[in-house]
């Protein structure tokens, strides 16, 4: 689970670097979005 989140996060960062648009707000938003999605996914599994 955590590895999947890390892989998605890393690929999004690499994509931003390749695009030449390195905005910390985008990275933080993506990181928070990934954590929220992970928590929702875990909550769904536990219910």
Express each pLDDT in 14-44 by its tens digit: 877 767 655 667 777 888 888 888 888 888 8
pLDDT over 70 at 1, yes or no? no
Residue extents of the structural domains in the chain: 2-46
Distance CA 37, CA 32 (A): 9
Which has more confidence, 8 or 24? 8
For the question of whether the overall pTM of this predicted structure is more than 0.75, the answer is no
Res 20: pLDDT = 62
Res 15: pLDDT = 79
Distance CA 43, CA 47 (A): 6
Which has more confidence, 47 or 39? 39
């Amino acid at each position: 689970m955590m590895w999947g989140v890390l892989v998605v996060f890393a690929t999004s960062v690499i994509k931003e670097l390749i695009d030449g648009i390195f905005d910390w707000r985008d990275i933080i938003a993506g990181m928070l979005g990934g954590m929220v999605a992970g928590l929702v996914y875990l909550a769904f599994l536990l219910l």
